[in-house]
């Protein structure tokens, strides 16, 4: 898909928001949902998606919703770092297929980083163990 286009209400994140597909939640409120990436680039890889807007990417997202949404991204990042105590973390956000976007619903990736631990490439990680993801999600939720 290109950078522009029509929002596809059948994308996986829209289905998760509607409760049609499961996810391993770390946080949810009226503004955002944070859940574990099932194909994590590293331990604790968490996704934060906005609610209430059909935005394919950053350019489609209503300006008035940025503040509350980015506050949630920051809160989740703080909880991820408190729960997992990484040496650092990355926040990534892709716009358009050539930039690496694979799900066309705006989302941020929070990826904890540890010294000397390589990441799996975006879109190249293997499926994680659900029990481990649930343990990590509980730790993040407890740190919220």
- Catalytic positions, please? 107
How far is 44 from 135, CA to CA, in rounded Å?
10
How far is 66 from 5, CA to CA, in rounded Å?
21
C-alpha of 63 from chain center: 20
Nearest Cα neighbor of 27 from 141, 138, 143, 134 is: 141
Residues 6+ apart with CB under 8 A from 5: 56, 104
């Amino acid at each position: 898909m290109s950078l522009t286009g029509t929002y596809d209400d059948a994308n996986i994140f829209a289905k998760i928001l509607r409760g049609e597909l499961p996810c391993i939640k770390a946080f949810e409120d009226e503004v955002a949902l944070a859940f574990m990436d099932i194909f994590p680039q590293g331990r604790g890889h968490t996704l934060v998606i906005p609610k209430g807007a059909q935005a394919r990417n950053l350019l489609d997202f209503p300006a008035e919703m940025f503040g509350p949404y980015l506050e949630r991204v920051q809160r989740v990042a703080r909880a991820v770092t408190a729960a997992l105590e990484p040496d650092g973390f990355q926040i990534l956000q892709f716009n358009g297929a050539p930039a690496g976007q694979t799900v066309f619903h705006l989302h941020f990736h929070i990826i904890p980083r540890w010294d000397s631990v390589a990441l799996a490439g975006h879109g190249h990680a293997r499926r994680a163990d659900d029990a481990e993801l649930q343990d990590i999600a509980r730790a993040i939720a407890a740190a919220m």
